[in-house]
Amino acid sequence: MTHLLYGIFIDPFVQMAAAPDLLVQTLWEGLVSGVLYALIALGFVLIFKASGVFNFAQGIMVVFSALTLVGLNEHGVPAYLALALTIVVMLVLAIAVERVILRPLVNQPDIILFMATFGLTYFLIGLGELIFGGDPKIMISDQLRLPSGSYRIPVFGGYVQMQKIDIAATIIASLMVATLAVLFNRTRIGRALRAVADSHKAALSVGISLEQIWVIVWFAAGIVALATGIMWGARSNVSFALEIIALKALPVLILGGFTSIPGAIIGGIIIGVGEKFGEFYWGPLLGSGIESWLAYVIALVFLLFRPQGLFGERIIERL
Amino acid sequence: MLYREVGQYKTSYRADQALFPILQDRIGIAVILLLAFVGVPLTASSFTIDSILIPVLVLALAATGLNLLTGYTGLLSLGTGGFMGVGAFACYKLTTLFPGVNIIILILCSGFFAAAVGTVFGLPSLRIKGFYLAVATLAAQFFLSWCFIRIPWLYNYNVSASIEVPTKTLFGLAVTGPTSSPVTRYLIVLSIVAFLTLVAANLVRGRIGRTWMAVRDMDLAAELIGIRLYQTKLLAFAVSSFYCGVAGAIMVFLWLGNAESESFNINQSFLILFMVIIGGLGSLLGSFLGAALIWGLPIVLRAAPAFFGVNIRSATAEQISFVIVGALIIFFLIVEPYGLARLWQVGKQKLRMWPFPY
């Protein structure tokens, strides 16, 4: 018993103090994976904010966009042209989703729309495998001029290894969030998006086109998915296993609150860092693999104190 | 003309509140039960029984469990697979600890273990609602999946990390394990499912079911009229997990014969949720229809190319069936968001009026 308590409360901190460079390394890795979770969560938030749809298909959209990019390149399309074409594909997807799924299901209960995005997930999995095959592919990071290699930075007498691609991912994620924040708060479209999020009916009555807004958000989510796909793909490779990672974005989402863009980022970082710390310092105690559920438990603990997530809008219930 | 309750007067409250108040319904149920208990074992091939009927019954039981929670109480859960796994592993441990006890009793007992686990994971449901709760139940799913892999005690330190079902006999007949005949297993599954469905039907039309539905429709209002929210929600979690646990146990013992943690992963949870939604939220009949549709669709799709004489590779067929299943789910949701059970209701109404349109 004392051994267990020691393992939980004392030993990890002793380790942290003993090897500060390792601590910084873990922190950095947690930060990077947090940013990448946050990117996926961002796609969810965009769609949830503007249409109230809990888009389960975001994960497969990540895979699908990355596969399209790599697949086009395999067929001899130059990398940047392939990138442009993939963006067009995501636009077509957004229009198709709006026409085929959202428009007929307007005003249905949330869970029905949630299920419909499930159908979309199945559809895209099948379609993706049918067109590009089920084998993992290697992301074309060289052709896209993504940096490779790593920096070794001396910290506390040791070294911290930083992959250049991770740094690039962090920068791109920050840029994306900044752009989205400006888009939401400063532009005409952003105002329309916020209006739709507040009330569909009121937005319609002041002349905002729901259809247009939905295409825009799904397209934006598609772009976010593409960026996520490139980043994740460059770190491992492009395969349908990435879809599982999308499930990791869910605790990030509830931690940050479904409707908050900064929430997605901060939630992502908390989950990413918490997960890496838990796995590294407390993992050996429980047997490995606790990464698979630790994120959910962290999120659950937060939820018990703040049921709407850290930055979610306060839930006010009336009779 | 055929389906009409005109002239069936009820002279007591008892008759009015009966489970099947209409004569035609009683006859219909009797015919279905007769067919299922007598007709099918006499006529169906062992392939049909093993790969269609038993799976549909097992999945329908799990879907019924989830429907009690999601459809009747309005609590979205994505932990179904995990709860089924608890039932299966509990049943396996019980058979090794008490080898002499009747297997059916053990299967039903394992449901209580699942109920206990389900209640624990239902605890956050008072604070959090909707999709937040769904993600919280995902914690249960992933944690339980992890337990099934990482705790070797659960599968008796088996090298393959899986459950091997021992042969158990009942009245001298092998009911589980590789030597048992499909018909025996089918009859046992059918009896358990029929019995539990009857219990569920009585639960939802009684006081408990009404409190559940009140909570679903608006929990604040339900609390104001004197329903204890916490107990009601936890009871729903417990009963639902009990059904899922029993479904998990019979899935391993009477259908698959062996299982590993993979059988109870997140995809299983989503599959069951599909069945409930396609079948119809808040309808027991819907659970069965949904299970039949979701299980049957891929089988039909796989058989279709051969039927039409088209030759395609099995991998391609698999991918096409994914595309079609996805498209059909969207199609069903657009055409009838309230599920197959609603179609049946509409059909019944039409039958009542027939031959007049209204």
User: Which run of H or E residues covers position B164?
Assistant: strand B162-164
DSSP code for B17: T
- A67, A114, A259, A303: best to mutate for the B interface, most B CBs within 10 A: A303
* Cross-chain Cβ contact B270/A287 below 8 Å: no
pLDDT in tens, A129-181: 888 877 777 777 666 667 777 777 676 666 777 777 788 888 888 888 888 87
Contact call for B136 and A290, based on CB within 8 A:
no
Q: Which residues of B touch A (CB under 8 A)?
A: 76, 124, 127-132, 135-136, 138-139, 142-143, 145-146, 149-150, 218, 220-221, 224, 266, 270, 273-274, 277, 281, 315-316, 319-330, 333-334, 337
The one-letter amino acid code at A160 reads: V
Predicted confidence band at A95 (pLDDT cuts at 50, 70, 90)?
very high
Instruction: Report the residue of A98, A106, A244, A293 to disrupt the B interface, i.e. the one with the largest count of B CBs within 10 Å.
Output: A293
Question: How close, in Å, is residue A307 to chain B by CA atoms?
Answer: 5
Residue B199 exposed, middle or buried by CB count within 10 Å (0-12, 13-18, 19+):
middle
Q: Which of B141, B149, B262, B323 best tests the A interface by mutation, with the highest count of A CBs <10 A?
A: B323
- Inspect the interface and report whether the beta carbons of B146 and A115 lie closer than 8 Å: no
User: Tell me, what's the pLDDT at B239?
Assistant: 95
Across the interface, of B221, B270, B326, the residue whose CB is closest to A126 is B326
Structure tokens at B309: 């004489």
Q: How far from B277 is each of A15, A107, B74, CA to CA, in Å?
A: 50, 17, 12
Amino acid at B88: A
Q: Which of B126, B131, B144, B331 should be substituted to probe chain A, the one whose Cβ sees the most A Cβ atoms within 10 Å? A: B131
Q: Which residues of B touch A287 (CB under 8 A)?
A: 150
CB-closest option in A123, A297, A309 to B139: A297
Using a 10 angstrom Cβ sphere, with 0-12 exposed, 13-18 middle and 19 or more buried, the burial of residue A251 is buried
Q: How far apart are CA B255 and CA B183, in angstroms?
A: 11
Confidence of residue A271 (pLDDT cuts 50, 70, 90): confident
Residue of chain A minimizing CA distance to B324: A123
* C-alpha to C-alpha distance for A112 and A107, rounded to whole angstroms: 10
Query: Greatest CA separation found in chain B?
Result: 67
- Report CB contact under 8 Å: B334, A105: yes
Q: What's the confidence (pLDDT) of residue A288?
A: 67
Nearest CA to B87 among B307, B306, B206, B252?
Answer: B252
H-helix segments, B251-283: 266-279
pLDDT tens over chain B, length 358 residues: 567 777 788 888 888 888 887 888 888 889 999 988 888 888 888 888 888 899 999 999 999 999 999 889 988 888 899 999 999 999 988 888 888 788 888 889 999 999 999 999 888 887 787 777 887 888 888 888 888 888 778 777 777 777 777 777 777 777 777 777 888 888 889 999 999 999 999 999 889 999 999 998 888 899 899 999 889 999 999 999 999 999 999 998 888 887 877 888 888 888 898 888 888 888 899 999 999 988 888 888 777 777 776 666 777 777 887 888 888 888 888 888 788 888 888 888 888 887 777 7
Listed residue (A298, A43, A230, A102) closest to B143, CA to CA: A298
pTM: 0.87
Query: What one-character DSSP code corresponds to residue B69?
Result: I
Identify the three-state secondary structure at position A300. helix
Q: So what's the ipTM on this one?
A: 0.81
- Who's near A282: CB < 8 A, 6+ residues apart? A7, A8, A12, A290
Given B131, B266, B322, which is nearest A54 (Cβ)? B131
Residue A154 phi, psi dihedral angles, 5° rounding: -75, 130
Residue with tokens 């992502």, as numbered in its chain: A268
Assign A43 to helix, strand or coil: helix
* Residue entry with tokens 């498209």: B327
Q: Which of A104, A286, A307 lies at the smallest CB-CB distance from B132?
A: A307
Residues 6+ apart with CB under 8 A from A248: A37, A40, A271, A295
8 Å CB contact of B321 and A126: yes
Evaluate whether A73 touches A138 at the Cβ level (below 8 Å): no
pLDDT digits (tens, 9 = 90+) for B234-271: 999 999 999 999 999 999 888 888 787 788 888 888 88
Q: How far is A17 from chain B (nearest CA, A)?
A: 30
Q: Region A300-312: what's the mean pLDDT?
A: 76
**Partner-chain contact A290 B128, CB within 8 Å:** no
